[in-house]
Amino acid sequence: MEFIKKMQGWKLWLIWLLLSLVATYLLAMNAWQGADKTMFLPGQTTVGHYQIELKCDACHTPFMGVKQDACLECHKAELDLVNDSHPAKKFTNPGNAHLLEHMDAHQCLTCHKEHVPKQTHAMGVTVPTDYCFYCHEDIGKERPTHEGLGFDTCLDCHNFHDNRALYEDFLAKNLDQPKHAVKAELPLKTLLRSYGEMQSQSQQNVAVENQLKGQEHENWMLSVHQQKGVSCNDCHMQPMEASSVKQWTNSPDYNSCRSCHNAEVEGFLGGRHGMRLAQNLSPMTPQMARLPMKAESMHKELSCNSCHTAHRYDVQYAATDACMSCHDDAHSNNFTQTTHYKLWEKEIAGDIPAGQGVSCASCHLPRVNVGSKRNPEVRVMHNQNDYLRPNEKMARPVCMKCHGLEFTLDALVDSTLVENNYDRPPSVHLESMQWVKDRVEARESN
């Protein structure tokens, strides 16, 4: 005790500070490794992130702060792809830099905080949505069409990030389209190359106890994999943990599909079916969900097999029946009453050409070109969240394959249609197209 008395006050203070920092750090680290991290959450996590909320370090640094880089690591590609209307680089432009004085719009955290449910709106937005005012105060002067519009209406017709279906030029290009296109069809999928020789005896390299029998064998014999020469070992021989030696496994996971279907795997991991697996957490189950789910499916684990039962890989089953075995909200349950579904039944029956029916997957797992314009490669996008919200994201890759732009935007903005799953023509009409027509006419007459 003597030596403490001898020390000067400031040194004591410094030691106390150091010790308490270390203690906090250790406590935090200890708790991090412990079982229940939920107790450290200051409030409910947003709909977008609650599945991975226990992975604190996906967003937080050890001392709890959250860096922009964490957000960008998971979301940059997506924002680049949609040609973000307000990327950070727009504000590094000296002409716009002064706008940041009102609102630091190049920091994600300005608008997207976490664990603050009372403050959180749709899509994890944590600021009141009339802030467009800070930077677009003069819009009424610049555009007579916008005179007198309230700043709480901006988001009815524009998005902050993704305006691909809403740009003036795009609207102008797609004026006066009929409600329903003459050739209402989805693009056909591009096929992969075949693998090896046709192997009707493809069980030849498989131990007897692992061979398929009965119904499972019949499923296999009818499957595209069998027909294209994929062998049992392509899926079942997988590297064992911590070694590269391959061994037979009875339950191959999504990694076994990667060698041939990497795009589908990445898509699946990026959306709300696979995002837990992407963080090495246990698979998502309907039990954990916030959305309503069917009671009998509560313990099903989400994987490729949730929709593609091994060894059948029946994509028609995957496109609607599989979804309906889990999802139990009004929108999903009403689907079988719709014109779209009747078209889907006709497609399955072979009464109309493939691509003219509409399944759940037509809208939520759309067929998109992942190749170039000249060398198209059409794949099924397995991240169902990439085209979900804001819902105009569906306009270009999905609805406009079959409907005109004006009809599409009216239908998507009519929130009552979500519940009945687009079973009625829209009952609202956006003035937007008329504004664009007027502007085009004014431009032409000048």
- Closest CB to ligand HEC among 109 and 348? 109
Q: Return d(Cα 379, Cα 390) in angstroms, integer.
A: 22
User: How far is residue 75's CA from residue 322's CA, in Å, rounded to a whole number?
Assistant: 28
Nearer to ligand HEC, 2 or 36 (CB): 36
Taking the complex as a whole, the smallest distance from the CB of residue 243 to ligand HEC amounts, in Å, to: 20
Of the pair 5, 141, the CB lying nearest ligand HEC is at 141
Find tokens 């037509």 and name the residue. Answer: 362
DSSP tally for the chain: helices H, then strands E: 23, 4
The distance of closest approach from Cβ of residue 295 to ligand HEC in the complex, given in angstroms and rounded to an integer, is 12
Residue closer to ligand HEC (CB basis): 16 or 62:
62
Q: Give the whole-angstrom CA distance, residue 48 versus residue 319.
A: 24
Q: Which is nearer to ligand HEC, 22 or 354 (CB)?
A: 354
- CA dist 345 → 325, 353, 365 (Å): 18, 12, 18
CB of 31 to ligand HEC, least distance (A): 8
- Which of these, 283, 280, 316, lies nearest to 300 by C-alpha position? 283
Please tell me the distance from the alpha carbon of residue 406 to that of residue 428, in angstroms, as a whole number: 11
CA distance 445 to 232: 68
User: Closest CB to ligand HEC among 56 and 348?
Assistant: 56
- Among residues 9 and 42, whose Cβ is nearest to ligand HEC? 42
**Minimum gap (Å) between residue 113 Cβ and ligand HEC:** 5
In the block, tokens 């969900």 appear at: 289
* Minimum CB–partner distance for residue 16 and ligand HEC (Å): 23
Residue 183 CB, nearest approach to ligand HEC (Å): 10
CB of 34 to ligand HEC, least distance (A): 11
Q: Do the Cβ atoms of 398 and 363 come closer than 8 Å?
A: yes
DSSP character at residue 335:
G
Closest-CA residue to 343 (of 155, 203, 205, 180): 180
The answer to whether residues 297 and 325 touch, using CB atoms and an 8 Å cutoff, is yes
Q: Smaller CB distance to ligand HEC: residue 7 or 62? A: 62
Q: Least distance to ligand HEC from the beta carbon of 241, Å?
A: 18
CA–CA distance, 33 with 54 (Å, rounded to integer): 11
Least distance CB 405 / ligand HEC (angstroms): 11
Measuring CA to CA, how many Å separate 392 from each of 180, 388, 412? 17, 8, 7
Q: Do residues 274 and 386 make contact, with C-beta atoms less than 8 angstroms apart?
A: no
Residue 14 or 137 with smaller CB distance to ligand HEC: 137
Question: Closest by alpha carbon to 184, among 340, 391, 414, 402?
Answer: 402
